[in-house]
Amino acid sequence: MKASQIDLFFWYNKYIGGDILVAGVLVEISHQSVDRIFDYLIPDSLLDDVLIGGRVVVPFGKMTLEGFVLEIKDHKDTDVELKEIIEVVDRDVVLTEELLSLGKEIQKTTLATLISCYQVMLPKALKAKNGKRVSIRYDTYYHLNPSFDSSIKLTSTQSKIIDFVREKGEVLRKELIDISASAVSTLVKKKLLMEEKREHYRFQSMIYREEKKKLTDDQRRAVEEVLSHPNQTFLLYGVTGSGKTEVYMEIIEHYLNLGKTSIVLVPEISLTPQMVKRFQSRFGEKIAALHSGLSDGEKYDEWRRIYRGEVSIVIGARSAIFAPLPNIGVIIVDEEHSDSYKQSDPNPRYQAKDLAIWRSHYHQCSVVFGSATPSLESMARAQKGVYYFVSLPNRVNGKELPPVKIIDMNQVMRQNRGYFSQELLFGIETRMKKSEQVILLLNRRGYSSFVTCKNCGFTFKCPNCDITLTYHKSSNTLRCHYCGYADKVHDICPECKEKSLSNLGIGTQKIEEEISENFPTCRILRMDYDTTSRKGMHEKMITAFQNHEYDILLGTQMVAKGLDFSCVTLVGVINADTSLNIPDFRSSENTFSLLSQVAGRSGRSNRDGEVIIQTFNPEHYAIHYASKHDYFSFYQEEMKIRRQLKYPPYYYLCNVRISGKDANYLFDEALKIKKSLERNLEGVILLGPSVATIFKVNNIYRYHILLKYKDSKNLYPIFMKIINHYRQNTKIKIDIDFNPSQIM
């Protein structure tokens, strides 16, 4: 927003005609029973400061609460005597008109409380619950008083300060107190120096500038296609290393030159420091990066920079979709297949991609979803023409994608006990001799709570849902989390008849030890959630690996994403299977995507790359097509299965979670809920109630009912009825998750 627009906004807020008296306030208690507007009088002293979308402090029963002002009116609707607003929280943090209506949209589509929809829009630092409020930081500047009384006698130190300030015109306090703090305050007291406080934003600007690259023909064509079709949602399919980031930046620059703003969503910003750096170095101070690594103060400052129109580009994870930017030209969602764009808990369980589209309608702008492995939902929409399809089929350097070798671990396990095949060991050895680098992926997505045969790789699946059965220790059973199917635990593998069933789960530490045994001088960098939990560690590790301080980068999922190292010529996947066994209908898709992404880390520069995938399921189509870099065949195969089993994108899913302390009571109520859904809905498939993946957490039991449906319209009123029915019931909690990213 430009300064003039902000003025207009304040003016609009103030001038609603005549005497402004009453503010409709939504208080910050997330409960259905108080999720509505309460009226308060605006005292005269606050007339200028109470803004629509702003936050105020109000008395509420015996409490004092914060709330959002949603309306200002010149009359009251009741005879009840209204209480007065106590104070205004922060004039600088105001939800725009657009965000206020977006909040209502989120409420409608997630069935969350409206207040939670507004709370989720603001950085945590700005929320009332946080207790202490983040302060604005000021810098103090000094300049000479123009009506300087030259008759005043000065000490030599004081003269020195005066001369210094005269020469510079204006000096920061830091510089002056190095000379003498006491002299400075004396000069201020004598009115020779004038003091001025100015806001100081906490953010680091970049010194290094990235040069613009000359686009390849493919990239140029992709950019032109996006720019020549305004107000569209695009699916940009680009193989790993095809230069999607460069395409994003070019599109953004185009809109920047038109005076428009952009939002870039990335999966988890702490995992994509390289990408953020590239944006920062190209666009400098025009960019605000919102990520979890920022302190509360930094977040507060970034938000205000955006709100004041001082920033043109916002890059951040899921919640950056709420950036209060005006005049948006394009919204980019990188790695659009990532499940991090869906908020699972707590409610509002929104999908940032849907909100991107909503905002694009509001701003009449475009949305670009980019990925090397688009989600099935997005690709299906592209095929139907709902999204405009753009592709980058080649790598920037013109090289082929690296060849992938699949190693059958069933054979390896029979020969030795370790986790490494001879091929992978040999591959590592060759790279060490040539001083090249290796990335090893330990696939730990999911849980070890499934049973697998160590001999043949067999896992138990639900006959109804094709979902891996989860092991329940307490009852010693295998259960399906979708439909509730249960089976007893077997000793003998039904496939190979060996007695070698077990829970599988390996840690990065064990793998690290095994590499060290084989290559004692090899420098291994272990990257997982344990070693990167400290702030800034992840970035440090990436830099260290980039500087070739290590030979092998060993890690979990996080090594697969968006990294661009030129010396990496071998990528090894130690266990491709674990993610296939997650009890989730997307497990094949997620595995395909993970393998494709990690394979894309190899051979990105001039040197030839190679990929080795170890697996117990060498014939599985997800692994097979990933090894061929064949997204489209995978897509077709997976679509057939989705159609057969009535999963997305053929049907929408909705998960109703029913939780509480009394398992028997819950199950009875869950049955009643299912019956009432059955009675009221037509054409909806209902599964369950079944126990959740983690049935009992902190003595809270969880059941769920799964709905497969084509049209959501009739769902909302029924769900609202159910929610309202249990509103005052403390024994049961109902959570509804539309299009869940996981069903747990």
Positions that interact with Zn ion (CB under 5 A): 462, 464-465, 480, 482-483, 485
How many residues touch ligand ADP (CB under 6 A)?
15
Nearer to Zn ion among residue 148 and residue 485 (C-beta):
485
- Asked if 301 is part of the footprint of ligand ADP (rule: CB under 6 A), the reply reads no
- The residue (of 262 and 470) whose beta carbon lies closer to ligand ADP is 262
Task: Verify binding: residue 373, ligand ADP, rule CB under 6 A.
Answer: no
> Would you call 378 helix, strand, or coil by DSSP?
helix
Class of residue 497 by CB neighbours under 10 A (exposed 0-12, middle 13-18, buried 19+): exposed
Q: Which does residue 462 bind out of Zn ion, ligand ADP, none, counting CB within 5 to 8 angstroms by kind?
A: Zn ion
Would you state the structure tokens that stand for residue 546, as one six-digit string?
Answer: 């980039």
By beta-carbon proximity to Zn ion, the closer residue of 25 and 692 is 692
- Minimum CB distance to ligand ADP, residue 223 (Å): 11
Cβ proximity to ligand ADP, 234 vs 447, nearer residue: 234
Pairing, β 366-371 against β 486-488: unpaired
245 binds ligand ADP (CB under 6 A): yes
CA distances from 345 to 110, 123, 239, 348 (A): 12, 16, 32, 7
CB 313 within 8 A of CB 261: yes
SS3 459: strand
**Spatial CA neighbour of 155 closest among 124, 184, 115:** 184
In the list Zn ion, ligand ADP, none, the entry touching 154 (Cβ below 5 to 8 angstroms by class) is none
Which lies closer to ligand ADP via its Cβ, residue 542 or residue 582?
A: 542
- Which residues in the 543-602 window bind ligand ADP by CB under 6 A? 564
Three-state secondary structure along 229-246?
CCCCEEEEEECCCCCHHH
By beta-carbon proximity to ligand ADP, the closer residue of 242 and 557 is 242
Instruction: State yes or no: residue 396 binds ligand ADP (CB under 6 A).
Output: yes
Closer Cβ to Zn ion, 381 or 479, answer by number: 479
Interface segment toward ligand ADP; rule CB under 6 A; list 54-62, 123-131, 243-251, 731-739: 243-251
CA geometry: angle 574, 576, 579, nearest 5 deg: 130
What is the C-alpha separation between 457 and 234, in angstroms, rounded? Answer: 40
Q: Select from 609, 613, 591, 612 the least CA-distant residue to 601.
A: 609
Least distance from ligand ADP to the Cβ atom of residue 569, Å:
15
User: Are 687 and 482 a contacting pair, CB within 8 Å?
Assistant: yes
532 burial level (CB within 10 Å; 0-12, 13-18, 19+): buried
Nearer to Zn ion, 482 or 719 (CB): 482
Interaction of residue 246 with ligand ADP, rule CB under 6 A: yes
- Interface with ligand ADP, residue 241, by CB under 6 A: yes
Nearer to ligand ADP, 116 or 373 (CB): 373
Minimum CB separation of residue 649 from Zn ion in Å reads: 20
Pick what 465 binds: Zn ion, ligand ADP, none; C-beta below 5 to 8 Å, kind-dependent. Zn ion
For residues 376 and 374, give the distance between their C-alpha atoms in angstroms, rounded to a whole number: 6
- Quote the least distance from Cβ 722 to Zn ion, whole Å: 23
Q: What is the DSSP string of 149-197?
A: -TTS---HHHHHHHHHHHHHSSEEHHHHHHHHHHHHHHHHHTTSEEEEE
> Which of Zn ion, ligand ADP, none is residue 482 near (CB under 5 to 8 Å by kind)?
Zn ion
CA-to-CA distance for 594 and 600, rounded, in angstroms? 10
Cis peptide preceding 348, ω within 30 of 0: yes
Q: Which of 290, 295, 268 is nearest to 280 (CA)?
A: 290
Quick check: 607 binds ligand ADP (CB under 6 A)? Answer: no
The nearest distance, CB 489 to Zn ion, in angstroms, is: 17
DSSP 8-state code for residue 82: P
Interaction between residue 244 and ligand ADP (CB under 6 A): yes
The distance of closest approach from Cβ of residue 478 to Zn ion in the complex, given in angstroms and rounded to an integer, is 11
Q: Which of 566, 570, 625 is nearest to 594 (CA)?
A: 625
Residue 272 sits in the site that holds ligand ADP (CB under 6 A)? no
| Shortest Cβ 239–ligand ADP spacing (Å) | 7
Which phi-psi region, left, alpha or beta, contains residue 692 (left: φ > 0; alpha: ψ -120 to 50)?
beta
Three-state DSSP class for 422?
Answer: helix
* Minimum gap (Å) between residue 431 Cβ and Zn ion: 44
CB of 604 to ligand ADP, least distance (A): 6
Cis peptide before 520 (omega within 30 of 0): no
Burial class (CB in 10 A: 0-12, 13-18, 19+), 512: middle
Q: Which is nearer to Zn ion, 406 or 465 (CB)?
A: 465
3-state SS class at 663 = helix
Residue 723 has which token pair?
């929610």
Tell me the per-residue interface mask from 401 to 420 with ligand ADP, x by CB under 6 A, - otherwise.
--------------------
Nearer to ligand ADP by Cβ, of 4 and 606: the residue is 606
Q: Within positions 190 to 209, which residues make up the interface with ligand ADP, using CB under 6 A?
A: none
Could you tell me which of 553, 615, 596 has the C-alpha nearest to residue 402? 596
Binding mask 206-225 toward ligand ADP (x if CB under 6 A, else -) reads -------xxxx--x------
Instruction: Specify the residue, 245 or 617, whose C-beta has the smaller distance to ligand ADP.
Output: 245
Residue with smaller CB distance to ligand ADP, 240 or 449? 240
Of 224 and 512, which CB lies nearer to ligand ADP in the complex structure? 224
CA–CA separation, 309 and 732 (whole Å): 45
282 forms part of the interface with ligand ADP (CB under 6 A)? no
Indicate which of Zn ion, ligand ADP, none lies near residue 464 (CB less than 5 to 8 Å, by partner kind): Zn ion
CB of 172 to ligand ADP, least distance (A): 38
Using rule CB under 6 A, residue 655 touches ligand ADP: no
Residue 686 site contact among ligand ADP, Zn ion, none (CB < 5 to 8 Å, cut-off depends on kind): none
Which range binds ligand ADP by CB under 6 A, 138-146, 178-186, 190-198, 235-243?
Answer: 235-243
Per CB under 6 A, which of residues 716..735 are in contact with ligand ADP? none
Residue 720's φ and ψ, nearest 5 degrees, are: -60, -40
* Binding residues vs ligand ADP (CB under 6 A): 213-216, 219, 238, 240-246, 396, 564
